[in-house]
Amino acid sequence: MTLLPLPAFDDNYIWMLHDGHQALVVDPGDEVPVLQALQAQHLQLKAILVTHHHADHVGGVDELRAATGASVYGPAGEEMPEPLQRMAGGDTLQLLGLSFSVLDVPGHTAGHIAWYSSGVDGRPLLFCGDTLFSAGCGRLFEGTPAQMLASLDQLAALPGDTRVCCAHEYTLGNLRFAQAVEPDNVALQQYTRQCEALRERQQPTLPSTVAVEREINPFLRSRHRAVVQAVQAREPTARDDVSVFAALREWKNQFR
């Protein structure tokens, strides 16, 4: 099984998984890179998985469905290009011989879902759209801080070796913020050097892993003492978990 990030637009990745014959893609905001990859590798597109309704994630769905006949699976609670099969937390799906389960992860959008598979070569896979980024998380366009914190807690509890397939290459910018929050985090400094080296060679920093994110992502570390102290130095009224998380997200929104 091969996992590929297909670059799209400025900084999106459309994730493709294939077995040499059949393929699935996640969040095809643009059909062009997907059609090119299918053609170049003589693959048949079986399924399109979608995490949320934003245009940079669904823009290529209609074209790909029409061109390939692939089945489309997306969130139960969002406006989507029809027809598709609507999925919600707890639902499962068999594709390319793998079992996928759906997680409800509201916050970036109200009905955002993530796709988790325990199965590629014994290493789990997570397609998390714009909920979790490496060293960051999505903006709260529709959900509350409490919802996003619960969604990220759910993802942080997945097995450490889960490969985290985020929909954007935002890693270096997120790492600059993470270092402002946790200047003494050694794992964060090492990971930053590793990601800078990858980007210098124009390579993706993704997939990350859940274990790495637990070590370096301030939004998965919002209950750690160093993060709480850094947030409270700016926002002394932030006391409970949710208000610390909300203030951390707000700090990132302002960060330049």
Residue 56 touching Fe ion (CB under 5 A): yes
Q: What sign for the dihedral angle of Cα 59, 60, 66, 71?
A: negative
The answer to whether residue 54 is catalytic is: yes
Near Fe ion in 117-156, by CB under 5 A: 130
Structure tokens at 44: 């048949």
Structure tokens at 126: 């997570």
Tell me how far, at minimum, the Cβ of 138 lies from Zn ion, in Å.
Answer: 6
The answer to whether residue 57 is catalytic is: yes
Near Zn ion in 214-253, by CB under 5 A: none
Q: What sign for the dihedral angle of Cα 62, 64, 70, 75?
A: negative
Of 96, 158, 97, whose CA–CA distance to 127 is shortest? 158
Question: What track of x and - describes contact with Zn ion for positions 86 through 125 (by CB under 5 A)?
Answer: ----------------------------------------
Amino acid at 111: G
One of 27, 30, 53, 108 is an active-site residue; which one? 108
Tell me how far, at minimum, the Cβ of 236 lies from Fe ion, in Å.
Answer: 33
For residues 54 and 252, which CB has a smaller minimum distance to Zn ion in the complex? 54
For residues 54 and 65, which CB has a smaller minimum distance to Zn ion in the complex? 54
Of 45, 86, 49, whose CA–CA distance to 64 is shortest? 45
For residues 148 and 227, which CB has a smaller minimum distance to Zn ion in the complex? 148
Residue 130 touching Zn ion (CB under 5 A): yes
Question: What track of x and - describes contact with Zn ion for positions 39 through 78 (by CB under 5 A)?
Answer: ---------------x------------------------
One of 27, 30, 52, 53 is an active-site residue; which one? 52
The answer to whether residue 42 is catalytic is: no
Tell me how far, at minimum, the Cβ of 104 lies from Zn ion, in Å.
Answer: 16
The answer to whether residue 91 is catalytic is: no
The answer to whether residue 130 is catalytic is: yes
One of 30, 54, 104, 112 is an active-site residue; which one? 54
For residues 124 and 129, which CB has a smaller minimum distance to Zn ion in the complex? 129
Q: Which residues are catalytic?
A: 52, 54, 56-57, 108, 130, 168
User: Which positions lie near Zn ion, rule CB under 5 A?
Assistant: 54, 130
Q: Give residues in contact with Fe ion (CB under 5 A).
A: 56, 130
